[in-house]
Amino acid sequence: MIELSHIEKRFGDNVVLKDISVAIAEGTVTALVGPSGGGKSTMLRCINLLETPTSGTIRLGEETIQFSPGKKTGWDAIQRLRRQTGMVFQNFQLFPHQTAIENVMEGLVTVLKWPKDKARARALELLQKVGMEHKADAWPATLSGGQQQRVAIARALAPSPRVLLCDEPTSALDPELAEEVVEVLSRLAREGTTMIMATHDLRLASRVADQVLFLDGGLIVESGAPKAIFQTPERERTKKFISSLSAGHSYDI
């Protein structure tokens, strides 16, 4: 179970998240949608404490951390929570001086202190899962954007996190390459991987997500199943946003 209770995030006087409360069951996929600046990426980054909430409570598995203004969160608590998450970034962020398999191995060897043989076996297993075993020894610069993102997904899965966090995983890709990533994430969802993803890609959200949260102005304006949010949204703000994204496109919802 992942639970956010009354999460607020401020940058100075700017309130980016306002009283966010949501519970996410393990084995489900949650898509965060909404306009740029609405709070999607900040909410995602607060879950693994790349951003520290100003106030509120986060529970991830057995770990619970409470936040309040001026209260410093201990590094050990941050690490215990962060080790339960894997993060996939918009721009891949692979290490350019390492091959695909070395990128996937890196956290296992450096952070978890796995023997290299064990880490290599795990990395190859994950590259197979994302369809990239044939590029195990390739340098990132020789890979397409879709291939780099698939390697990044394998790297995020390497330590067997409780939840995979994806921040706009297809937005840097053209539609054909994005489809490669959508297919990999769809397969992970079918296998029961818990995922929370911030995305503007309605195709990705509709195919992969069990629930959709529409964020605007730091608030969860509306939530529900993808079909309900994308076809029959209740709030006028949601209707306007979905209409603007889906204009001229057809989605299998």
**Dihedral-angle region of residue 217 (phi above 0 means left; psi in -120 to 50 means alpha; beta otherwise):** left
Q: Which residues of the chain have pLDDT under 70?
A: 246-253
pLDDT of residue 248: 44
CATH code of 1-84+198-253, in short, is: 3.40.50.300
CA-to-CA distance for 118 and 40, rounded, in angstroms? 36
Domain boundaries, given as residue ranges, for the chain: 1-84+198-253
DSSP 234: S
Helix axes 116-129, 145-157, angle to 10 degrees: 130
pLDDT of residue 91: 87
pTM of the model: 0.90
Instruction: Kindly report, residue by residue over 27-40, the tens digit of the pLDDT.
Output: 999 999 999 889 99
DSSP 232: S
Instruction: Kindly report, residue by residue over 207-249, the tens digit of the pLDDT.
Output: 899 999 999 999 999 999 999 999 899 999 999 988 887 654 4
Is residue 80 within 8 Å of residue 69, measured between CB atoms?
no
DSSP letter for each residue of 23-87 = EE-TT-EEEEE-STTSSHHHHHHHHTTSS--SEEEEEETTEEEEE-TTPPPPHHHHHHHHTTEEE
pLDDT of residue 85: 94
DSSP 160: -
